[in-house]
Amino acid sequence: MKFYQEITLIDQAEISPYFIWSKLYAQLHLALAEQKDTNEKVNIGVSFPKYIFEPKTEERKVKIHLGDKLRIFAQSEADLEKLNIRKWLDRLTDYLHITSIREVPSEIKEYSIYKRKQVKTNAQRLARHRVKRGDIGFDEALARYSHVVTTTDLPYIQMKSLTSDKSFKLFIEKKPATKSETQVFSTYGLSSVSSVPEF
């Protein structure tokens, strides 16, 4: 990734940063969806430079935070110009500061993968989905899935599905990585295989 734009949330006394993240990310998702290929993938990734996730221990509570910055990365300046993120975030200009397109510093030493962590939160939903296959009944499916219900303390952005209008949490997990050759991301700018520079 050679070029980036940085978006900073402007501190607001009356509006929660979580609300701004939600609005920002909904618009970013729409913008990236416009750029997707036939495999529903894009060549633009994101990072959260102030991301914090320190799991709970006996000595301390969990520490989680997305921070107040988002970086959008692409291989070429043209890709970011085509994305035209300013147009998509036009209604949020009072709440965000967006930089011009810049070159990624040449002496990058660290890379990270930011990926979506999907959490199975509802055993009944999983059981209903399994019943649709037609091979087992609801009670048996519910018994199978009652033990796989998990939760996570990872940072998240509250999103709303465009198709069903239901709210969901977009959990984001950060992993240290090496520089990746492939640059394939979802329409959330996240990937389980492609890394982005950290600086």
pLDDT for residue 32: 96
- Tell me how far apart the alpha carbons of residues 140 and 127 are, in angstroms, rounded to a whole number: 8
pLDDT per residue over 111-161, tens digit each? 999 999 987 666 677 777 778 888 888 888 777 777 665 678 899 999 988
Domain annotation covers residue 129? no
174 within 8 A of 148, measured Cβ to Cβ: no
157 within 8 A of 92, measured Cβ to Cβ: no
Domain annotation covers residue 122? no
Domain annotation covers residue 8? yes
- Write the DSSP symbol of residue 147: T
pLDDT for residue 129: 74
Task: Supply 117's token pair.
Answer: 């962590």
pLDDT for residue 150: 63
Which residues, in sequence order, are bridge partners of residue 9?
A: 96
Domain annotation covers residue 160? no
CATH of the domain at 79: 3.30.70.2540
DSSP 150-195: ------EEEEE-TTT--EEEEEEEEEEEPPPS---B-TTS--SS--
Domain count, the chain: 1
The residue among 68, 110, 86 whose CA lies nearest residue 27 is: 86
Domain annotation covers residue 133? no
pLDDT for residue 121: 60
Answer whether residue 8 shows pLDDT above 80: yes
pLDDT for residue 16: 92
Domain annotation covers residue 110? yes
10 within 8 A of 24, measured Cβ to Cβ: no
Whether this prediction's pTM lies above 0.85 is answered by no
Which residue range forms the structural domain that includes residue 21? 3-117+170-198
Look at 177 and 164; give whichever has higher pLDDT: 177
Question: What is the percentage of the chain residues whose pLDDT exceeds 90?
Answer: 66
Domain annotation covers residue 157? no
Question: Exposed, middle or buried: residue 56 (CB in 10 Å: 0-12, 13-18, 19+)?
Answer: exposed
Answer whether residue 185 shows pLDDT above 70: yes
Look at 89 and 13; give whichever has higher pLDDT: 89
Task: Tell me the residue type at 166.
Answer: K
| C-alpha gyration radius of the chain | 19
Look at 142 and 188; give whichever has higher pLDDT: 188
Domain annotation covers residue 99? yes
Mean pLDDT of the chain: 90
pLDDT per residue over 158-173, tens digit each? 998 877 888 889 999 9
- Tell me how far apart the alpha carbons of residues 169 and 177 are, in angstroms, rounded to a whole number: 24
pLDDT per residue over 58-81, tens digit each? 888 888 999 999 999 999 999 999
Helix (H) or strand (E) run with residue 21 in it: helix 17-33
89 within 8 A of 98, measured Cβ to Cβ: yes
